[in-house]
């Protein structure tokens, strides 16, 4: 089974020989190694690159363990560069290389070397490397399969594919497992023995149970506004445990740094400013989220919202939660202020879209409820409602674009209809 993953491949192709270190980041098992060592390498060979000019090293492989020593790796790489033609150096899980920043900085000073690396940890790569290189690092962030990528190899209907995708997510290894029970076992084992153990080991977390309980709380409330104070109260009332706000904040940072979860901040649309707290959190892969909950809570409304969020991030949008303040009066005629919410405010360059996720719109009353906040933004950016099922995309009489989740996910240009 081959999924082309053209979006990420084309990004790498566009960045070739730009003088920067191409850093491919993303959650473990999302396909970074396959992108680099197969799809990108195949592209280089197809365009005529001599295979001797492609140097690839996976640092998590036992046979390459000695290369984790920069004193061994750097002389080896220099020895492989035998002429003035371009050499492509592909390094996988580069955070396992000691003093990797110095090694990579030395490599990009060679005029005929083009460097590509992958890694699974934001604090090592996305954050520290880009800072360390001061403009010499160029990041490509990778996600698990999108629904469109998933459906490109799924043999059934889009409705059946949707049910499968909601339940098991889009990690590439899961697609190679046919038996549902084996999928469930694989995801649960992967979640506990790879993701959680990785975070615990990397950050020396002393109380693994606290971290796992925090993940359970977040998994049960995807797309809900929260903050460390609220989560601390939940621990106290539900779990009968006392955990400080600072500890919870630290755990949340660990989870975001590992790319396991992502956040959406609140944005005051009319005030044009961010509201620090509370924040919404979404899971990068729903299969892992469901594994965390032992596949117990499968609410399609929240799951659909999470999938829309991930798709928008994959398409390169900055995604916030929109807030519109409405001044009105109560029954006694007293003035009151209400804060209404738009699920997603999406920005990319000069483009902006306001999006509501509405699982079902059975009648006009529900339609008016969903679009009420959209109509209060006071601007002319496109307003969209995405539902589970809808006819072909259409604009209603108020100029709001209505489309189904399938039309949105399966057409990369769906927002521009």
Give 314-334 pLDDT, tens digit per residue: 999 999 999 998 777 777 777
Phi, psi angle pair for 142, to nearest 5°: -115, 145
Res 126: pLDDT? 42
Residues 122/257, Cβ–Cβ less than 8 Å: yes
Query: In sequence order, what are the beta bridge partners of 275?
Result: 266
The CA distance from 216 to 221, in Å, is: 9
pLDDT at residue number 358: 93
What is the structure's pLDDT at 130? Answer: 56
Output the CA torsion 116→28→262→204 (10° steps): -110
The pLDDT value given to residue 125: 45
pLDDT of residue 157: 96
Domain-embedded: residue 251: no
> How far is the C-alpha of 60 from the C-alpha of 362, rounded, in Å?
52
pLDDT tens column, 70-88: 999 999 999 999 999 999 9
Inside any domain, residue 82? yes
Mean per-residue pLDDT pooled into runs of 10, the chain (417 residues): 90 95 90 95 97 96 96 96 96 88 89 90 51 74 96 95 96 94 95 89 89 92 89 85 90 89 93 90 96 88 96 97 83 77 95 95 87 91 93 92 96 90
The helix/strand/coil state of 230 is: helix
- Give the separation between CA 108 and CA 100, rounded to whole angstroms: 12
Neighbour-count burial for 12-36, b at 16+ CB within 10 Å, e otherwise: beebeeeebbbbbbbbbbbbbbebb
Q: What is the CATH number of the domain that holds 33?
A: 3.40.50.300
pLDDT digits (tens, 9 = 90+) for 90-118: 999 888 889 888 899 899 889 999 999 98
Structure tokens at 224: 């809900």
Token representation of residue 336: 């009151």
Q: Which residue, chain included where needed, has tokens 């000073």?
A: 109
Task: Examine residue 359 and state whether it is found in any structural domain, yes or no.
Answer: no
The span from the CA of 121 to the CA of 133, in Å, is 17
pTM of the predicted model over 0.85: yes
Preceding omega of 169 cis (within 30 degrees of 0): no
Residue with tokens 């992502």, as numbered in its chain: 262
Q: Model confidence over 351-367: pLDDT tens digits?
A: 999 999 999 988 888 88
Partners of 282 in the beta sheet?
262
Considering the domain boundaries, does residue 274 fall inside one?
no
Taking the CA of residue 306 as centre, how many other CA atoms within 13 Å lie in the half-sphere pointing to its CB? 31
99: in domain = yes
pLDDT confidence of residue 121:
60
How many domains is the chain partitioned into structurally?
A: 1
Please report the pLDDT score of residue 240 as a whole number. 81
Place of tokens 């000069």: 350
Classified as helix, coil or strand, 224 is: coil
Inside any domain, residue 81: yes
In 3D space, the residue among 161, 254, 151, 169 whose CA is nearest the CA of residue 207 turns out to be: 254
Is residue 33, in this structure, part of any structural domain at all? Answer: yes
Domain that holds residue 128: 6-142
DSSP assignment of 285-347: -HHHHHHHTTT----HHHHHHHHHHHHHHHTT-EEEEEEEEEEEE-TTS-EEEEEEEEEEEEE
Q: Six-digit token pair at 257?
A: 């740094």
Q: What is the predicted pLDDT for the residue at 105?
A: 87
Measured between alpha carbons, how far is 154 from 72 in angstroms, rounded to an integer? 44
Domain membership flag for residue 226: no
For residue 329, report the phi and psi dihedrals to the nearest 5 degrees.
-125, 150
> Per the structure block, which two tokens stand in for 352?
């902006």
């Amino acid at each position: 089974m081959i999924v082309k993953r053209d979006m990420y491949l084309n990004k790498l192709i566009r960045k070739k020989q730009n003088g920067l270190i191409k850093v491919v980041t993303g959650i473990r098992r999302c396909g970074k190694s396959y992108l680099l060592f197969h799809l990108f390498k195949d592209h280089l060979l197809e365009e005529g690159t001599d295979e001797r000019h492609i140097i690839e090293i996976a640092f998590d492989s036992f046979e390459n363990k000695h290369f984790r020593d920069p004193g061994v790796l750097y002389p080896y790489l220099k020895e492989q560069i035998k002429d003035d033609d371009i050499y492509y150096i592909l390094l996988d899980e580069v955070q396992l290389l000691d003093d990797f920043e110095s090694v990579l900085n030395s490599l990009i000073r060679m005029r005929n070397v083009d460097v590509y690396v992958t890694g699974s940890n934001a604090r090592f790569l996305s954050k520290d490397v880009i800072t360390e290189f001061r403009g010499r690092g160029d990041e490509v962030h990778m996600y698990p399969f999108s629904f469109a990528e998933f459906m490109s190899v799924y043999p059934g209907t889009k409705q059946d594919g949707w049910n499968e995708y909601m339940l098991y997510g889009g990690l590439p290894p899961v697609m190679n497992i046919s038996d549902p029970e084996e999928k469930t076992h694989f995801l649960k084992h992967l979640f506990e023995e790879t993701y959680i153990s990785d975070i615990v080991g990397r950050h020396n977390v002393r109380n693994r149970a606290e971290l796992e309980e925090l993940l359970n709380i977040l998994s049960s409330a995807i797309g809900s506004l929260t903050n460390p104070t609220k989560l601390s109260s939940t621990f106290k009332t539900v779990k009968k445990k006392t955990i400080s706000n600072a500890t919870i904040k630290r755990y949340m940072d660990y989870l975001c740094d590992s790319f396991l979860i992502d956040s959406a901040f609140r944005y005051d649309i009319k005030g044009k400013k961010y509201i620090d707290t509370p924040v919404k959190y979404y899971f990068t892969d729903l299969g892992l989220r469901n594994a965390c909950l032992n596949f117990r809570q499968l609410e399609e409304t929240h799951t659909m919202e999470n999938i829309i969020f991930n798709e928008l991030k994959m398409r390169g949008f900055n995604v916030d939660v929109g807030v519109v303040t409405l001044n009105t009066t109560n029954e006694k005629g007293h003035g009151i202020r209400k804060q209404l919410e738009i699920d997603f405010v999406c920005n990319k360059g000069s483009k902006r879209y306001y999006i509501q996720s509405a699982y079902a719109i059975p009648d006009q009353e529900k339609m008016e409820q969903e679009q009420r906040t959209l109509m209060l933004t006071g601007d002319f950016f496109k307003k969209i409602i995405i539902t589970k099922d809808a006819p072909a995309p259409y604009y209603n009489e108020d100029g709001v674009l209505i489309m189904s989740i399938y039309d949105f996910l399966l057409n990369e240009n769906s927002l521009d209809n």
